[in-house]
Amino acid sequence: MFDALTDRLSGVFDGLTGKGSLSEKDVSSALREIRVALLEADVALDVVKQFIADIKPKAVGESVIRSVKPGQQVIKIVHDGLVEMLGGGEEAQGLRIDNVPAVIMMAGLQGSGKTTTTGKLAKRLKEHERKKVLIASLDVYRPAAMKQLEILAGQVGVDSLPIMDGQMPVDIAKRAVNAAKLGGYDVVILDTAGRTTLDEQMMGEAASVADVSNPSETILVADALTGQDAVETARRFDERLKLTGLILTRMDGDGRGGAALSMRAVTGLPIKFLGTGEKSDGLEVFDATRIAGRILGQGDVVSLVEKAAAEIDQEKAEKMAKKMAKGIFDLEDLAEQFKQMERMGGLGGLMGMLPGAKKAKQAMDAQGLDDRVLKRQHAVIMSMTPKERAKPALLNASRKKRIAAGAGVEVSEVNKVLKMHKQMAGMMKKMGKGGMKQMAKAMGAMGQGGLPGGQSMDPAALQDMAGKMGGGLPGLGGPGMPGGMGGLPGLGGPRGGKKK
C-alpha cells in the first residue's frame, strides 16, 4: 500500500534530470499522482481539490536541491502542507475545563466509539489531570448502552450517574449536571446516543441536551476509517452542535486516516486525541506529522531516516571514513558494514523502507538472498584472527580451511567473502586517490541537503553513492541484481543520517 505513491511518482519523474527549478509541468504531473493517492487515502474530494490548488503555487519554481529527486521534493512540500493543514504548527490543545463542573459532551454516528472513548477520556482526566470525573450515558436507545458505560466507569475507577429507567436524554443531562454540582465533581462527561445526521429528531435532541447542559467542550467522535462521508458528517454535526474538537478512533487500524484531514479542513477544529485499541488507556495526543506521513504513505521513509540516525554509530562511522579516506578498507570494516545493516533491520527491512526499492527487493527474494547470507559472511570474518582481518594477504589454504570450519561453511564461501572484500578495497583505493571528493559530497548531501528537516531520505544520493562504489558486494549481488544495490552497506558511511 505504501509503495503505491512512491512507485508511481518515481515513474513520473524518471525522465527528469532534476536540474534548475521545478517547472509547472513537473509539478502538475506529480500533483495528479498525489491527488489520486490522497483520494485513495479517503481524503474527501473537495478537500483534496482545495489542497492541491493551495500547494501548487508553493511547488512551482522551487529550486531543486541537487541530490534530491524532484518527486521527493514535491512529496516533501506536500507533506509539509499536510502537516500545516492538520494544525501541526499549533500548540497541542488539551480540554477546556473551567467553570466547574465542566461539561464535556460526546457526539457521533452509531458505532464510532463514543462510549469506549468516554471511558478512556475519563481515565485520562482522572489520572493525568487529577480531576474528579462523573460520566453519564444518555443513550436510552441502544440496548445495554447505559450498562456498558456503567461497567466502563467501574473499570477505569470513576463514578457514573445511577441509571434511572424511563428517563429521557435531556432529563438525564440535567440530572447529571446537578449531581456533578452537588457531588463536587470537576468534570461531567455526557455520552450521547449514536445518531445519523439525517435523523432530525435525534439531532434536535442532541441540540437540546447541549442547551440544557451548556458544555465547555463538545467533541465529535469519529471513526478514522471513515470514507468520503467524513466531511458531510463533520459539517452537519458542527452546524447543529457547535463542536469544539474532534477525537478520531480506531487509529490502530490500517486505514490511511484521510478522514482526519477532511474533518479538520471542513470544521477547522482541533483534533484533540486519537483512540487506539480497545483498552482503556488507548488514547493518544494528536500528532500532525505522524498523520500526514500516514496519509501520504511516506511514514516509512521518515522512520528509515530516524532508524539510520539512531542505529548508526557515529563514532565508528567516522573512524571508518578516515580509513577510507586513506584508501584502506580491511575485513574489519566489511564486518562492521554487515553489522550496521543488520541493526537497521537487515537487508529486507532496509530495502522495504526505501521508496522505489520494491523491485530490488523482489529480485532479492527471487534469488533467495536474505539476511542469513549476511550473517554467514559476517561469521566468516569473525572466524578470522584480528591479524588476518587487518591483513587478508596472510590467508593461505590452511588458514582458510580453519576459518571455514570455524564459521561452519565451505572454503568456497570464505573465498567469496575475500573476493568481495578485494573488490571493495580496490574501489576504496581508487576513491582514496581521486574519487573521494565526489563520494564525500554524495554522503554530505545525505547528511544535510538530502534530508531537509530530517523528513525525507534521498534514494538518489544512495543510488549515486552505490554506483560510485561500483556495485560493492559482488558476492552478495549475484547476476540479476539491479545496479546500485550492491553498495548499500555504504549507507553506514560517515554522516549517514541526521546529526544530533
Partner 1 sequence: MESLPFQTLEEVAQEKADTAAPKEDETSSPEPIEEELIAETEIDDPIAETKTTGFFSRMTQGLRRSSSKLADGITSVFTKKKLDDDTLEDLEDLLISSDLGTNVAMRVCDNIRKDRFDKEVSSEEIKQALASEIAQVLQPREEVLDLSEGPSPRVVLFVGVNGSGKTTTIGKIASKLSAQGADLLLAAGDTFRAAAVEQLKVWADRSNSGFLSRPDGADSAGLAYDAIQQAKQENRDLVLIDTAGRLQNRTELMDELAKVVRAIRKVEPTAPHDVILVLDATVGQNALSQVEAFKHTAGVTGLVMTKLDGTAKGGVLVAIADKHAIPIHFVGIGEKAEDLHPFSADAFANALVGLSDDVTGE
- C-alpha–C-alpha distance, residues 279 and 281, integer Å: 6
Q: Which stretch binds partner 1 (CB under 8 A): 42-50, 63-71, 287-295, 399-407?
A: 42-50
Of residues 81, 215, 245, 258, which one binds partner 1 by CB under 8 A?
Answer: 258
Single out the residue of 86, 107, 146, 334 in contact with partner 1 (rule: CB under 8 A). Answer: 146
Cβ proximity of 260 and 283 under 8 Å: no
First to last CA, the chain: 32
Position 220 contacts partner 1 (CB under 8 A): no
CA distance 228 to 218: 23
- Quick check: 209 and 170 in contact, CB under 8 A? yes
d(CA 285, CA 168): 34
155 vs 214 by CB, closer to partner 1: 155
Select 216 or 249, whichever has its Cβ closest to partner 1: 249
Helices (H), 167-199: 169-183
Q: Is 394 in the site for partner 1 (CB under 8 A)?
A: no
Q: Nearer Cβ to partner 1, position 157 or 204?
A: 204
Residue 180 touches partner 1, criterion: CB under 8 A: no
Residue from 378, 382, 245, 355 nearest 300 by CA: 355
Phi first, then psi, for residue 88 (nearest 5°) are -65, -30
Contact residue for partner 1 among 122, 145, 404, 476 (CB under 8 A): 145
44 binds partner 1 (CB under 8 A): yes
- What's the min distance (Å) between Cβ of 408 and partner 1? 34
21, 155, 178, 214: which one binds partner 1 (CB under 8 A): 155
CB of 281 to partner 1, least distance (A): 15
Residue 201 sits in the site that holds partner 1 (CB under 8 A): yes
The alpha carbon of residue 49 and the mean position of all alpha carbons in its chain are separated, in whole angstroms, by 24
Span near partner 1 by CB under 8 A; candidates 67-75, 246-254, 381-389, 428-436: 246-254
Backbone φ and ψ for 331, nearest 5 degrees, come out as -65, -30
Query: By rule CB under 8 A, what count of residues binds partner 1?
Result: 65
**Residue 210 lies near partner 1 (rule: CB under 8 A):** no
C-alpha span between 473 and 418 (Å, rounded) = 11
Whether the bond between 101 and the residue before it is cis, its omega within 30 degrees of 0, is yes
CB of 15 or CB of 166, closer to partner 1: 166
Contact with partner 1 (CB under 8 A) among 229, 287, 313, 332: 229
The reply to whether 98 sits near partner 1 by the rule CB under 8 A is no
The reply on whether position 253 binds partner 1 by CB under 8 A is yes
Alpha-carbon distance values, 49 to 3, 125, 234, 379 (Å): 23, 38, 18, 55
Tell me the backbone φ, ψ of residue 246, rounded to 5 degrees.
Answer: -125, 150
Interface residues with partner 1 (CB under 8 A) are 36, 39-42, 44-47, 49-50, 109-113, 116, 140-152, 155, 165-166, 168, 196-202, 204, 223, 225-233, 235-236, 250, 252-256, 258-259, 265-266, 278
